[in-house]
């Protein structure tokens, strides 16, 4: 099992991507469209595709409103894997770097 397949093994977002007509069923290529929220530029908007894992971290993120389909904005990040500052609606909160790695998002292009 490769590192990529292990990373996306339990990703609920994979199933969501596979329902799109442009994605090929049974491949990891659709998953690679999504990136971790840590990869979004400061000030960038994104739509949550999935939250990996089913443990305590996923429950905490769901309590904050970070669920598939939610739109979030990355306001800032500390250097060297520090906290990530996010906003969802009018609520602003910070999550740890390791928790932010679990949140896969699709970038929303500004038009």
CB of 65 closer than 8 Å to CB of 91: yes
Residue 91 in domain:
yes
Rounded-to-integer distance, Cα 86 and Cα 91, Å:
8
Q: Domain tally for the chain?
A: 1
Report pLDDT digits (tens) over 32-47: 578 899 999 999 999 9
CB of 52 closer than 8 Å to CB of 102: yes
Q: Which domain holds residue 46?
A: 34-107
Model confidence at 54: pLDDT above 80 = no
For 69, residues 6+ apart whose C-beta sits below 8 A from its C-beta are 47, 48
Report pLDDT digits (tens) over 9-20: 445 445 544 444
Residue 27 in domain:
no
Under the banding of pLDDT at 50, 70 and 90, the label for residue 59 is confident
Whichever domain contains 57, its CATH number is: 2.30.30.90
pTM above 0.75?
Answer: no
Residue 58 in domain:
yes
């Amino acid at each position: 099992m490769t590192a990529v397949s292990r990373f996306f093994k339990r990703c609920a977002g994979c199933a969501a991507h596979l329902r799109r007509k442009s994605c090929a069923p049974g491949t990891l290529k659709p998953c690679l469209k999504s990136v971790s929220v840590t990869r979004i530029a400061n000030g960038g908007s994104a739509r949550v595709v999935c939250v990996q894992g089913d443990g305590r971290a996923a429950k905490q993120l769901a309590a904050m409103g970070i669920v598939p389909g939610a739109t979030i904005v990355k306001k800032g990040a500390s250097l060297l894997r520090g906290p990530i500052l996010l906003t969802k609606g009018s609520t602003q909160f910070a999550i740890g770097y390791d928790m932010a790695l679990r949140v896969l998002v699709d970038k929303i292009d500004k038009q």
